Structure 1
Amino acid sequence: MKKILMIGAIALLGVLGGCGKETEKKEENVAAKPVETQVLKVAFNQSDKHPQYKALEKFSEELEKETNGAYKLEISPNELLGDQRAATELVQNGVIQMAVVGNPVVESFNQDFAVIGLPYLYDNMEHQKKVFTSDVLKPIFKSVAPNGFEVLGAFTAGGRCLYTDKPMTKPEDLKGYKFRVMQSDTMKKMIDYMGGIGTPMAQGEVYTAIQQGVIEGGENNEVTYADLKHYEVAPYFSYTNHLMVPDLIIINEDFYQNMDGDKRAIFDRLVKETIENEFQVWNENVEKSKKLAMDNGAQFIEIDIKPFQERIKPLQEDVANRNEMTKKIYDDVRALAD
């Protein structure tokens, strides 16, 4: 009898032991189960060599790591998802989650955005960095939420300058010259005030338009100038430094508001870190871009910008004094210059 009881006990222990191992295996399987990654599609109109693209790549790596694989980005460069206006509509409709677009694109939804893209608003890159890493632009960024998207923050795109077939050293040199500008009334007026003719056009059309004589030149930073090989059709790059227009990071409003609270906090923090990182990457790329352009025959001309600044003042005053919000933002941005 004792022998039978002992055999039964041993058998029972074996069953319990097996159950324990099975339970342990199940727990291991649960713990090891991979998190389903949500891929955030991002539209980008420049190449994959662009500093902003590189900043977004690092953002994706950090986001995937810190959310334990919950999110990562899929960045489509070179306007593969359409131009900036089309990309904005895709974000609005939730077809894609994010895009990087020029400030004038968002200005078409809220004209007050013109104030943060005013010519000669920012003294230099350090001033602009102070503004973009502060909270002074939050009210205007939130204002477009009813349109189905929100602005998360702004990237620098450096100082924009004029380039064409001759040096532009004074306003009189621009007479009769058509320069491509972003699709914005403010940008068109800017070139008109400076002495030329502002011609709104998509970025992808500029090279051919200059080549065919539809326009005489463009206005952009050294990085885009070199990246898109515009030095081949417009070899004189004149440092008017008339504009430091923000490139805005936009996100679908429904997606953003429905993010898990903890993950959204991580997301927001990484956006701020990415903006700081982009300034650094941008500065590193400017000199490389200049060298590439000069090696291909481009000339970079330093000029006195004061005559251009004087011509722009009526435009600054008109936009800054449009309403209470624009006045406050203008004053807050200028206060950070000190």
Structure 2
Amino acid sequence: MLASFLMVSVALTGCSANKASDNTPETDAGMKAEGPKLTLRLADTLAVDHPIVAADKKFAEMVSERTNGRIKIEVFANSQLGEEKTTIEQVQLGALDFVRTGAGALAGFSKKFEVFSLPYIFESEEHQFKFLESAIGTKMLDGLESSRMKGLAYYSAGARSFYSRKPLTGIADLKGQKIRVIQNKVNVDLIDALGANATPMAFGEVFSALQTGVIDAAENSFANLYTSNHQQQAKNLIIDQHQRVPEVLIISKTTWDKLPEEDRKIVKQAALDSVKIERELFDKFEKDAEAKIRAAGVTVTEVKDLKPWQDAVKPVIDKYRKEFQEELDAIEKAKK
């Protein structure tokens, strides 16, 4: 009970406002900083050296610069403030100000985000971002407000592929394997369609689960595989690129509503401006991570023909087509 009380107490200190002293020193421009100073917190489950965390920090830096230091955003990486579901719930409650989370984890809070877990709906990152930046993509971000959150921007997360402790050189090798998935039902259906056994699990638990044999395999990007050191336990990787699930930068509606209109504009624009930086950082890091994973002795198989994979998971898309018709139509339109 005491531990739970302390955790809640710490979480509730997220959005702090301390009025500046009347003796606030002048800035380099000769102007005094105006308004209350805020220290806000941003949670991320990824490792400190991950490019997405670097983008979080760049976003925080831009907000600080554009508010002359009035708003400071502290970034807590490596699940310091909890796993994805926990931090999303804290943002909902207003106990935490920002979270960077995978779109798949948002499905339990805003159903439309399940669409990103459907396999092979995007042909490339360019196709994906054309959709994300469309009216429907923006509508999905705005839809988070009903869950007491506000979506600020999408980040790239690359393509997801399977990696395993067991041999993995073709689609048939997945059959019977216990595979960790993001905690939503579309992912469970996807794994079932491939003849494997889905094991929903928080990202931070995957390394030990692979190590102890609780699971045989998982799936993720090169960047996430490398920074989490999963290659130490899973020495077989097949590049099937079955999903492109974006990351989402989110602010608590409670925090957003407390900000003056001018600061809202600054925060929103800084988030959008950080996207280009994140995509560049992620792309470079992915290439480096792939090279290091291969150098670490991981057996890497590249899928030359995706058709058997696409055929196997087509029933999953058909099952959810009616539910996500608007989004799927917009994704198809974004190909052109």
Unpaired runs of 5+ residues, structure 2, are 1-22
Amino acid in structure 2 at the alignment position of 1:171: I
Counterpart of 2:316? 315
Aligned equivalents of 2:291 and 2:72: distance in 1? 34
Task: Indicate whether 1:209 and 2:209 are aligned.
Answer: yes
SS of the aligned residue for 1:143 comes to helix
Aligned equivalents of 1:291 and 1:72: distance in 2? 36
Shift of 1:196: 1.3
Counterpart of 1:199? 199
Change beyond 3 A, Cα 1:180–1:29:
closer
Aligned equivalents of 2:318 and 2:90: distance in 1? 34
Counterpart of 2:18? none
Counterpart of 2:325? 327
1:239-278 C-alpha deviation (Å, 9 max, x unpaired):
0100111222121112213322222222222211212221
Q: Given that residues 99 and 251 in structure 1 are in contact (C-alpha distance below 8 angstroms), is that contact kept between their aligned partners in structure 2?
A: yes
Aligned equivalents of 2:239 and 2:318: distance in 1? 23
Alignment of 1:1-338 (within 5 A): 33-35=32-34, 36-303=36-303, 304-322=305-323, 326-338=324-336
Deviates more, 1:122-131 or 1:215-224: 122-131
Aligned equivalents of 2:24 and 2:98: distance in 1? 37
Shift of 1:292: 2.0
Q: Given that residues 51 and 278 in structure 2 are in contact (C-alpha distance below 8 angstroms), is that contact kept between their aligned partners in structure 1?
A: yes
Q: Given that residues 116 and 243 in structure 2 are in contact (C-alpha distance below 8 angstroms), is that contact kept between their aligned partners in structure 1?
A: no
SS of the aligned residue for 2:335 comes to coil
Counterpart of 2:10? none
| Equivalent residues, number | 310
Shift of 1:167: 4.5
Shift of 1:61: 1.3
The normalised TM-score by structure 1 is 0.86
Structure having the higher Rg? 1
Shift of 1:166: 4.1
SS of the aligned residue for 1:240 comes to strand
Shift of 1:96: 1.2
Q: Given that residues 170 and 308 in structure 1 are in contact (C-alpha distance below 8 angstroms), is that contact kept between their aligned partners in structure 2?
A: no
Counterpart of 1:12? none
Q: Given that residues 98 and 252 in structure 1 are in contact (C-alpha distance below 8 angstroms), is that contact kept between their aligned partners in structure 2?
A: yes
Q: Given that residues 64 and 71 in structure 1 are in contact (C-alpha distance below 8 angstroms), is that contact kept between their aligned partners in structure 2?
A: yes
Shift of 1:111: 2.2
Aligned equivalents of 1:317 and 1:131: distance in 2? 20
Shift of 1:174: 1.0
Shift of 1:195: 2.3
Change beyond 3 A, Cα 1:166–1:149:
same
1:20-65 C-alpha deviation (Å, 9 max, x unpaired):
xxxxxx9997965444431220110011111111111111111111
Aligned equivalents of 1:117 and 1:172: distance in 2? 21
Shift of 1:287: 1.5
SS of the aligned residue for 2:240 comes to strand
1:170-222 C-alpha deviation (Å, 9 max, x unpaired):
33211110111011111111111122111101111111111211111110110
Q: Given that residues 170 and 307 in structure 1 are in contact (C-alpha distance below 8 angstroms), is that contact kept between their aligned partners in structure 2?
A: no
Amino acid in structure 1 at the alignment position of 2:306: I
Change beyond 3 A, Cα 1:29–1:83:
closer
Shift of 1:99: 0.3
Shift of 1:281: 0.8
The normalised TM-score by structure 2 is 0.86
SS of the aligned residue for 2:74 comes to strand
Amino acid in structure 2 at the alignment position of 1:328: E
Counterpart of 2:16? none
Change beyond 3 A, Cα 1:27–1:196:
closer
SS of the aligned residue for 1:136 comes to helix
Counterpart of 2:17? none
Q: Given that residues 104 and 182 in structure 1 are in contact (C-alpha distance below 8 angstroms), is that contact kept between their aligned partners in structure 2?
A: yes
Shift of 1:234: 0.6
Unpaired runs of 5+ residues, structure 1, are 1-25
1:48-86 C-alpha deviation (Å, 9 max, x unpaired):
111111111111111111122222311101111011011
Query: Percent same amino acid at aligned positions?
Result: 27
Q: Given that residues 166 and 216 in structure 2 are in contact (C-alpha distance below 8 angstroms), is that contact kept between their aligned partners in structure 1?
A: no
